[in-house]
Structure 1
């Protein structure tokens, strides 16, 4: 093998290794039922399309080889105008491809409806998510705690998310668990995910939202049930209480915020955030809504 051939082989190997290494924390390394099903849809669609693309490439190379200038056996047909068989072939194969890929996407979109709960004998935990500038707030209403840029969930337990935004539209995405979904001011989107294996997974914002977008990331820690209970107990013993005033401070734009927790959360805070029509940095407005909601 020549020096140039060895260099080319080495370059191809390095590129392939780099590409595969990048898949270790992405959609091609699923760690939950939703992400696994999405990966299968991706592979099914890829297989259907390759079944058309590969023969087309081979046919193109074959035609170019056969009709080369030096091949005297190739027939030259300058008056050729129409062939019903060729027309049927040209249109039937792409139509079949569209039907097959569309069918896979249609079935998958219904099977993986973000609002559809995950079938499990284990009761799901509830997490309320608020996208802020430029950080993520996670409220655990049943545990009475909250965290910023840190999402801790028990392994093998479905997680029922309610998501909204305090400012501009954003996008919540944990590639290894699946289902990117948008967050919007004044609206709630719902999502169900589950982590099948313990580990730390990368969460991020998939929607550009301003200067601090690049640091709008969070860690998802999937831990055993006992470790999750210990984390909840530890969170209840440290940090401030998340009320209307601390939320107003949190809602102010900030970048590269280190993860921390709140030992308590004012009941109904997520609903007050959801219905807030003034600026989220206006604590008097939020306090007014919270007090009137409590009176009702």
Structure 2
């Protein structure tokens, strides 16, 4: 089962180049990780650009970013209407918080898309604090996937927690550590306009939690490109879906958590993450758009 993922898209030439890459890869679905048109009133133009490149029936699956969540630079409700859900069996509120197993019968991946750390029209962020309803919904979706024997669990959201770009831990330290504690295989985000992929990180022993803006080698569980499921979680930020890039800070205190990164000042590239999941392995690679050369890849093997 093949899927692609990226966020921070826009409607310019870069966005069209990335959509061309997606079309060429021919995935089963795409996860659009928020921040779409970047301006109010561009919803139909954005949707037309996507369907023009990928077709009206393609599952271009949305989770809101901060630019459309509160309505100031677009409206997630309008995006949801013109790029509706195409996955059978989806549960939750599409565009805001949802999950789906793919394929619906004998699934290989459970996708869990959530929206911590961004403001909505009511003036504040949704509550993903420890023990909240949305926290429990996420935790139960992860636990149920494992209980049902679904090989892979992928969580997607707009904001990252730790990053070499400009952003801080908007996803929340506790929520991020919960995903690690439950050994989610892959966590995807956008928001920072960079590409960055972590080593496998895990809790236990002398690593009780990951603390933002700090680094502890005790939380690293594997640091090469061939990883084993259950050893830890891989975090990938793919905020390079078409708009302008941010710099990466090579001396950031969190740099020790990362295996690969790209930004405006270091091998810049727009593009998409391309993931192929089977019952035995999850293989991912970064595919650059035309005119860029940066690449990255990793494999997680099932025990």
Instruction: Say yes or no: TM over 0.5.
Output: no
Higher helix share: 1
Instruction: Please classify the TM superposition score into its range, dividing by the shorter chain length.
Output: under 0.3
Q: Which has the higher strand share?
A: 2
**TM-score, normalised via structure 2 length:** 0.26
Question: Higher Cα Rg: structure 1 or 2?
Answer: 1
- TM-score, normalising length: structure 1: 0.26
